[in-house]
Amino acid sequence: MARKLRMGMVGGGTGSFIGDVHRKAAAIDGMIELVCGAFSSSAEKSIASGKALFLPEERCYGTFEDMILKEKQLPESERMDFVSIVTPNHMHFPPAKMALENGFHVVCDKPMTLTLDEAIELEKIVAKSGKLFALTHNYTGHPLVKQAKAMVAKGDLGTIRKIQVQYLQGWLSTSLEKTGQKQASWRVDPKISGIGGALGDIGTHAENLVEYITGLKIDELAADLGRFGEGRVLDDDGNILIRMENGAKGTMSFSQIALGEENNLAIKVYGTKGSMEWHQENPNQLITHWLDAPVKIYTPNGNNLYDEALSVSRIPAGHPEGYLEAFATIYKNFATHLMAVLDGKKIDKPDYPTAKDGVRGMQFIYASVESDKNNAAWTKFKK
């Protein structure tokens, strides 16, 4: 393909954290350019945000509906190829649905939708449309997460028997939402966040990482959720027992009131031949232990990496690769797939989270909330 992919954006206006992350990540590999956007629920702010990003005024739209309809009317050589949705949770489904039904591919922030019913419907819309849909579970983009997944898939660890995963933050250990802080305010509001608080925000990352690395599905869970912040109706803490489809057992702990923690996502996977551990705050080491060999530490672009990890290692060994690069891998793999589609080619196994993963995430949220309501009773995912 002899050009960059053209991206439109919904949300992510001036002052947005995640919108800026998506734009930077999309640009890292030089395959994507931002050409238009509806950056705010306020038309005035949206247009101002677009201008601040040096977009022409006629490509700065007041609403996502306006953007999708007007972009559709442009010649194929000018219109956006896909939409990136970086809004709070309650505004994921409407623009995704409209974009897909009007012929545009979609990249969407997680969790996929506000409700499980929306997620199931959106998966059907994706299938019917024939368009691509990527969900930005960005931690799966780290080279050493790819290495971990490949090692499990190739049988290096033997049969998986035990999993421990945690995602601990402390930024909501005070009532930050009462100060008017935007990121805190919408995350504790069920009308915007959905039925999960920390569960939906970071618990879904833990769930996705477990299933991505092990290649196994969570069969059932027992969840004990906490609501420690004064007046909060959504969870801000949780501990979950998990049973995997192959009989493996696991524990999951997540929190946004763990004072002193910053972004402590970590996973340990134990098999019959070996075990591994990976820590997001030290993402450039995958530590492995073996039944009959010394401890071995893998690094990005280092020795003995599988092709799955080498293909997303961008810089020489010894140079750190982190959050933005992992995010960029999602965009790169999506863009590679989309370019192939536009060129009439086929990619057998594109490696990025899809609508199917989004439904799993919403099933996880709903099963956890149901379990918690029933005194941590064992609960299966709803179909």
CATH class of the domain defined by 5-131: alpha beta
Position 280 scores a pLDDT of 97
CATH class of the domain defined by 143-315+359-379: alpha beta
**pLDDT tens column, 222-256:** 999 999 999 999 999 999 999 999 999 999 999 99
Give the helix ranges, DSSP H, for 113-169. Answer: 116-129, 143-153
Per-domain residue ranges of the chain? 5-131, 143-315+359-379
**pLDDT tens column, 32-72:** 999 999 999 999 999 999 999 999 999 999 999 999 999 99
Position 62 scores a pLDDT of 96
Dump strand ranges (E) for 274-378: 274-279, 282-290, 296-298
> How far apart (Å, rounded) are the C-alpha atoms in residues 160 and 121?
33
The ranges of the chain with pLDDT < 70 are none
Beginning with the edge strand found earlier in the chain, give each strand of the sheet holding 296-298 in spatial order. 296-298, 282-290, 274-279, 264-271, 160-168, 249-255, 237-244, 218-226, 379-380
> What pTM was computed for the model?
0.96
